[in-house]
Copies of this chain bind each other. A is one copy, B any other.
Amino acid sequence: MKPTVQIEYCPQCGWLLRAAWMAQELLTTFRDELYGVTLHPSETTGRFTVSVGDAILWDRKQEGRFPEPKELKQRLRDQIAPDKKLGHSDR
């Protein structure tokens, strides 16, 4: 079974659009490696967390900011497809 990424976002904060954008970025780059991406509205305000299985790829509270797509892609690649080349997103 391929891995599923989960993006937990704060709906009251208006972060659905950003979460959906990130989902599309990941699904475009990892189309063959992922089972899918789940968009999950958080019950806790201010949350924006991206995870795959037990691994947290990004936690806005910890990092102090939102991720750029390229940061997420690098971290996801390292978790699920370490040999995959990311082209421009590797620089």
Contacts and interface: CB of A to CB of B under 8 A. Distances in A.
Chain A, interface SS category: mixed
B31 A40 contact: no
A33 to B, nearest CB: 10
Contact of A31 (B17, B20, B24, B41): B41
Contact of A39 (B11, B17, B27, B41): B27
Nearest to A21: B20
A27 B11 contact: yes
A42 B11 CA distance: 27
A46 interface: no
Interface in A25-62: 27-28, 31, 34-41
